Chain A
């Protein structure tokens, strides 16, 4: 059998001095759903930071007493807050879901399954949310 013509060329490949170096296209994150969701996850920090900066500004105004404090109640601010809440919830969901991958725990010498860790994380999130809500409602009264 005659060796295919490409064999000699393939065998003669030395150091890759003339290798072609491809560059990542700018739209790489639109190529796959997983990449896109990753970028959304990373982006959630931006609206959350914007809302928290606004909160700091509000706290500073509230420090001057009730007379100088006018909490924003415009429809635009409510829409902005709802959008930020959506991003915050998505951020929390991804963060807690990844905890099962990161945490390596053992109970009675046996590794705890990631699903159990994730369920515990969401349970703690629920408890913390109820406690914070109760405190805020208590202050409001």
Chain B
């Protein structure tokens, strides 16, 4: 029986030689139904062309580093099964809306800056000494923010967001979802520290609710919900007389 094969087309870009990215085709064996797109890239790198550059780490949808455009859709390549595409060819490109450093590697500096700007950690007005004990939470209190805490910073939502593509100043989906995660945490007291970034014109108000960020999220996070609820919260705080009281 003839060996099953599949064509993978990947973006190639060498900043020292190329003016613009180009696509290169590789014809590789596809013998195992459990094969994912990341396996195909690893096969190319190990057996066909060792110069191919891309990011990956855990291979199990946790680290969020292998996000790429697979046939035009942002995907974690470790979770994109080849069987879902075969016998069609698969085109693998770097996450769109980001600068391309080399081949499939994007420059994530902008996202890292935005992530830091929303202070994604628990802020207390006054830290208690360790001896004062833990900050207990009920299950209901955890449920308030649980889904937003599943974000793995894979940036697929940024690649799916045309608003971010058109205006890179936009704070974006994942950063807002993580800000919401901490703002809803009963242990956190940092809402006022995050509001200047969130309520900025380049913050939540830049979003026109395309909603594709929530569609492509591999972890079931709903960043569109986080953004719209933050809009509602900031409006409430602005309009209602008691809205600006200390939380």
Q: Give chain A's interface residues, CB within 8 Å of chain B.
A: 3-7, 9-10, 13, 15-16, 18-22, 24, 28-29, 31-32, 34-35, 38, 42, 98, 101-104, 109, 111
* 11 residue pairs bridging A and B, Cβ less than 8 Å apart: A6-B49, A6-B52, A13-B102, A15-B109, A16-B109, A20-B99, A22-B21, A35-B210, A38-B210, A101-B222, A101-B225
In angstroms, Cα B222 to Cα A31, docked, is 22
Q: Return chain B residues, CB-CB under 8 Å to A31.
A: 72
Interface residues on chain B, size class:
35 or more
In angstroms, Cα B225 to Cα A6, docked, is 41
Least Cβ–Cβ distance between A94 and chain B, in angstroms = 9
Q: Return chain B residues, CB-CB under 8 Å to A5.
A: 50-51
B96 lies within 8 A of A22 (CB)? yes
What number of A-B contacts does a CB cutoff of 8 Å give? 90
Q: Return chain B residues, CB-CB under 8 Å to A42.
A: 208
In angstroms, Cα B200 to Cα A22, docked, is 26
In angstroms, Cα B179 to Cα A68, docked, is 58
Which of A18, A20, A32 is most buried by chain B, counting CB atoms within 10 A of its CB? Answer: A20
Question: Nearest B residue to A100 by beta-carbon distance?
Answer: B225
A9 lies within 8 A of B102 (CB)? yes
The reply on B206 being an interface residue by CB < 8 A is no
